[in-house]
Amino acid sequence: MRQTDECFVRHTLDLARLGTDTAPPNPLVGALIVDSAGTVLGSGWHRGPGTPHAEVHAVAAARQGGCTDFAGTTLYVNLEPCCHTGRTPPCTDLILAAGIPRIVCGMTDPDSRVSGKGVDILRNAGRTVVVGVLERECRELNAPFVTFHEKGRPYFTLKTASSLDGKTATVTGESRWITGEASRESVHRLRSRQAAILTGIGTVLADDPLLTVRLNEAGGSPVRIVADTRLRLPAESRLVQTAREIPVLAACSRTILETDEGKKNRQALEQAGVTVLPLPEKDGRVDLVELARVLAQRGIDRVLIEAGESLAWSFLESGLVDRIRMYLAPQFVGGRGAPGLFRGGVQTLDRRITLEGVTLFRCGEDFVLEGKPCLPD
C-alpha cells in the first residue's frame, strides 16, 4: 500500500508543478481521485489565488467522468486539505460531502490557519487519513511557502552571473554581456516567479537597473527593493522614476533619517512614490535579518537577490539565502581587481559555506549551477 501511495503522491507533485507560474503566493497543489482498483477517476491542480483548489478540480473531473459514488476511493494530495474559508470554501467540506473515505496527503499545511486542523476534521468525521507520504519531496516543492510560514520570512534566492573564473565584469567595468541570451531570458522567467527583487545601492549607482520582468507573456513585475543604508537612492534613477508604476522599497538605517540630509532624501523619495523602510544597522549596513522580518510582514514571500559582491556575501554569511542559482559562461575574463561574485570571505576553510543538493544544467551556451548554501556549525 505504501508503494502505491507514493506512486500517486508523486503524480500529484507532477500536477502541482503545472501551477508554477500562476499559483504563487498560494502553494503548488495537485490532487487525484483513485478507485479501489487503482484507476484514476479525476485529477486537478491549483491555478492561482481565488481559483478552485486542486481537490475541487479532481472531484469535478471524477464526476464529469461518470463517478456518482465515491465509496472505496482515495483522495491523493501533496498538501493537507484546507479547512478555512478564504476566497474559496474549505476543501474538507467538499471531501466530507463527496463521501471520500480515505485521504493521503504528502505533508501538513504550515499555514497556521490549517496546520493539522484539516487532518483532524477529516479523522474526527471517521475518514482514514495518511500523512507524510513523500514528505521531503512535498516540502521541497513548496519550499518558499514552507519557509514563509515556518520561519516567518521570505524565501531568498541569490542569483549570480559570471565567467568560469568568477568575474562579473572586466577590469574596465564592462559586463554586457558575459552570459548569453538564453541565460538572460531564464533570469527574467526567474524574476517573474518572485514577489520581490532585491539589489544594493552600489548596483543602482553603477548600473541604474530597472529590475523588471521583460517577457512576452502577460503579467506584472515584482516589487523592487534597494538595500540602501545611507539612503543615497538618486531621484533621477530609473527605479525612482518608475516607482509609481512598480513599487520600490528603500531599506535604510534609522539613524540616517535623523540627519538633515536623510530627512531631505526621504521626503524627495516618498514624493516620488518610493516607500522608505527605516531599519536598525548591523556591521555597518542594514540589518538583513530585520529586513527579512519586515518584508514578511508586508506579505512578501519570495525574494530574488541580484546584488554586488559585498551585499551578496553579506546575505550568504547571514544564513538567509535558501537557494543560489549561478549562471556560468564558458569563458575566462581574468584581471586582478576585476569585479567578482563575492567580497569578504572566510579566514579559515572550516568556516567555508558549502552547497547541498547541487544540480548543474545547460542554458544555451552557459551552465547553471544550483544548490542550497549551508553555513558551518
Domain boundary at 99, 128, 147, which? 147
Mean pLDDT across 346-352: 89
Judge if 218 and 366 occupy the same domain: yes
In this structure, what CATH number is given to the domain that contains residue 50? Answer: 3.40.140.10
Judge if 178 and 114 occupy the same domain: no
Domain boundary at 97, 119, 147, which? 147
Judge if 279 and 160 occupy the same domain: yes
Domain boundary at 114, 147, 180, which? 147
- Residue tagged 501511495 (cell numbers): 5
Domain span at residue 247? 152-374
Least confident of 164-168, 179-183, 213-217: 213-217
Q: Which residue out of 55, 80, 306, 317 is catalytically annotated?
A: 55
Judge if 189 and 127 occupy the same domain: no
Question: The sheet that has 102-105: what strands, in order across it?
Answer: 40-45, 30-34, 74-77, 102-105, 128-131
Q: Can you tell me the distance from the alpha carbon of 124 to that of 146, in angstroms, rounded to the nearest whole number?
A: 26
Judge if 304 and 320 occupy the same domain: yes
26-45: per-residue pLDDT in tens? 999 999 999 999 999 999 99
C-alpha cell recorded at residue 184? 538572460
Q: What is the DSSP string of 213-227?
A: ---SSS---PEEEEE
In this structure, what CATH number is given to the domain that contains residue 292? Answer: 3.40.430.10
pTM (two decimals): 0.91
Judge if 332 and 216 occupy the same domain: yes
Q: Can you tell me the distance from the alpha carbon of 267 to that of 261, in angstroms, rounded to the nearest whole number?
A: 10
Asked whether residue 218 carries a pLDDT value surpassing 60, the answer given is no
Mean pLDDT across 321-349: 91
Judge if 197 and 160 occupy the same domain: yes
Judge if 176 and 92 occupy the same domain: no
CB 224 within 8 A of CB 244: no
- Reported confidence tier of residue 221, pLDDT bands at 50, 70, 90: confident
Judge if 346 and 210 occupy the same domain: yes
**Of 73, 31, 21, residue with least CA distance to 52:** 31
Judge if 259 and 329 occupy the same domain: yes
* CA 115 to chain CA mean position, Å: 20
Look up 55 and say whether it is catalytic: yes
**Of 358, 361, 324, residue with least CA distance to 341:** 324
Return all residues near 136 (Cβ < 8 A) that are at least 6 apart. none
Counting the structural domains of the chain, the total is 2
Judge if 103 and 175 occupy the same domain: no
CB 274 within 8 A of CB 240: yes
